[in-house]
Amino acid sequence: MKILSIESSCDETAAAVVENGRIVLSSVVDSQVEEHKKFGGVVPEIASRRHVENIVAVVRQALADAALDLEQVDGIAVTAAPGLIGAVLVGVNFAKGLAFAQGKPLIPVHHLRGHVAANYITHPDLAPPFLCLVVSGGHSHIALVRDYTHFEVIGRTRDDAAGEAFDKAARSIGLGYPGGVAMDKISHQGNPHAYPLPTPHTEGPFDYSFSGLKTAVINLSHNAAQKGQALVPEDMAASFCNQVAQILWQKFETAADYTGQTRLAIAGGVSANSWLRSLALEQSKKRGFQLYLPELSLCGDNAAMIGAQGYYEFLAGHTAGMSLNGRPYMELGDAF
Ligand code: KG4
Ligand code: ZN
């Protein structure tokens, strides 16, 4: 089954063709990052407008790269939640139009389920059940993936998402948007023990909190400024990356022990972080966990992951009619 998939929930306009949930026939990602950079973050109104302008060309390119006509695809999958609602609606309405005109099934996909499914593309042998750490710009979840379409969130952030903390901390040490990648890049020239950063306390054994960590960076930066000094960005980047990776891994490992899961996956934009990846690899080796990481090109937002999850949603009978609406918020475990 060949699925044409569309992703427009944030600042990437993306389309892909994926066969049977695992084989990527094409994947086109048109990033708006340069446009939002000057504002220090994504401006929702601009994102929506750019999606409208770019979506036709991106979808055409995905079909051309897969050497397929629209009539030859078997279904249209689209990110329908969660995300910037104006941005989500561009993809949803475009997909509805294609599905209606072609008489193809319309398959709504939860964006974070898509991130999890990026691992199915990278690891053809991976199948549920497994435990997944989903860390993006808007979410930080520990989810038990019981089946392809059956998710149980057992831990989540109580405040900021990990990616959000990266972006805000990066901004306070003078790195532009998006901060996570920039921080990761310069961190390897820094000392991870240069700045002491707090380990947040949360009530839930598998819950996270990142706002205190972000505030600590901002305070250290202000204190230094008051003394006429400046933080060493490389040292702060290394200290921050190291601390976030330690916090993420510690709770994830506790959750693995609690649930008895030995197959662990990481997903979402922050799964590209080199500190998190190497810590997870090192600890998994030590503990005998089987670790699954998406290839770097599939960590951030893309449509191939939506096509992968879309296939399993279709098999589960989760298609939608023309009344499908986008949603800004939606729990990982809920159905459309
Ligand atoms: O999953 P994603 O692409 O978009 C959302 O669904 O939110 O995640 C974007 C987030 C941003 O906060 C970005 O700074 C972060 O992922 N990110 C990273 C790295 N690459 C992207 N954070 C830390 N290290 C990275 N290498
Ligand atoms: Zn995402």
Measuring CA to CA, how many Å separate 250 from each of 69, 167, 215, 234, 254? 47, 22, 21, 24, 6
Is 160 touching ligand 1 by the criterion CB < 6 Å? no
Q: Is a pLDDT exceeding 90 seen at residue 73?
A: yes
Tokens of residue 292, six digits = 């699954």
Mutation to probe ligand 1, out of 134, 167, 270 (largest number of atoms < 8 A from CB): 270
Is 294 touching ligand 1 by the criterion CB < 6 Å? no
135 Cα to the center of ligand 2, angstroms: 9
Is 177 touching ligand 1 by the criterion CB < 6 Å? no
Residue type present at position 229: Q
Least Cα distance to 44 among 8, 10, 6, 75 occurs for 10
Q: Residue 230: pLDDT band by 50, 70, 90 thresholds?
A: confident
- Taking the CA of residue 207 as centre, how many other CA atoms within 13 Å lie in the half-sphere pointing to its CB? 10
Q: Is a pLDDT exceeding 90 seen at residue 239?
A: yes
- Residue 270: nearest ligand to its CA? 1
Is 1 touching ligand 1 by the criterion CB < 6 Å? no
204 Cα to the center of ligand 2, angstroms: 25
| Continuous segment of H or E residues that includes residue 183 | helix 179-187
136 Cα to the center of ligand 1, angstroms: 5
User: What's the CA gap between 300 and 114, in Å, rounded?
Assistant: 11
Average pLDDT over residues 88-110: 98
161 Cα to the center of ligand 1, angstroms: 10
User: What's the CA gap between 157 and 296, in Å, rounded?
Assistant: 24
Contact call for residues 167 and 263 (beta carbons, < 8 A) = no
Mutation to probe ligand 1, out of 181, 188, 243 (largest number of atoms < 8 A from CB): 181
Tell me what pLDDT residue 5 has: 99
Instruction: Determine which residue's CA is closest to atom 3 belonging to ligand 1.
Output: 300
User: What's the CA gap between 233 and 182, in Å, rounded?
Assistant: 10
- pTM (two decimals): 0.97
* Mean per-residue pLDDT of the chain: 97
* Tens digits of residue pLDDT in 273-306: 999 999 999 999 999 999 999 999 999 999 999 9
Is 307 touching ligand 1 by the criterion CB < 6 Å? no
- Residue 297: nearest ligand to its CA? 1
Report the alpha-carbon angle 5-53-138, nearest 5: 60
3-state secondary structure of 303: coil
Can you name the residues that pair with 255 across neighbouring β-strands?
Answer: none
Residues with CB under 5 A from ligand 2 (ion): 136, 301
193 Cα to the center of ligand 2, angstroms: 30
3-state secondary structure of 321: coil
Tell me what pLDDT residue 336 has: 94
* Tens digits of residue pLDDT in 127-142: 999 999 999 999 999 9
Least Cα distance to 336 among 155, 316, 18 occurs for 316
Tell me what pLDDT residue 21 has: 98
Q: CB under 8 Å, gap of 24 or more: what pairs does 125-132 form?
A: 126/263, 126/265, 126/292, 129/261, 129/263, 130/261, 130/263, 130/264, 130/265, 130/292, 131/252, 131/255, 131/256, 131/259, 131/261, 131/263, 131/264, 131/265, 132/264, 132/265, 132/266, 132/267
160 Cα to the center of ligand 1, angstroms: 13
Is 10 touching ligand 1 by the criterion CB < 6 Å? yes
Tell me what pLDDT residue 178 has: 87
Mutation to probe ligand 1, out of 136, 185, 236 (largest number of atoms < 8 A from CB): 136
* Tens digits of residue pLDDT in 305-320: 999 999 999 999 999 9
Q: Which residues are CB-contacts of 54 (< 8 A; sequence separation ≥ 6)?
A: 13, 30
User: What's the CA gap between 219 and 242, in Å, rounded?
Assistant: 18
Average pLDDT over residues 176-201: 95
181 Cα to the center of ligand 1, angstroms: 7
Tell me what pLDDT residue 203 has: 87
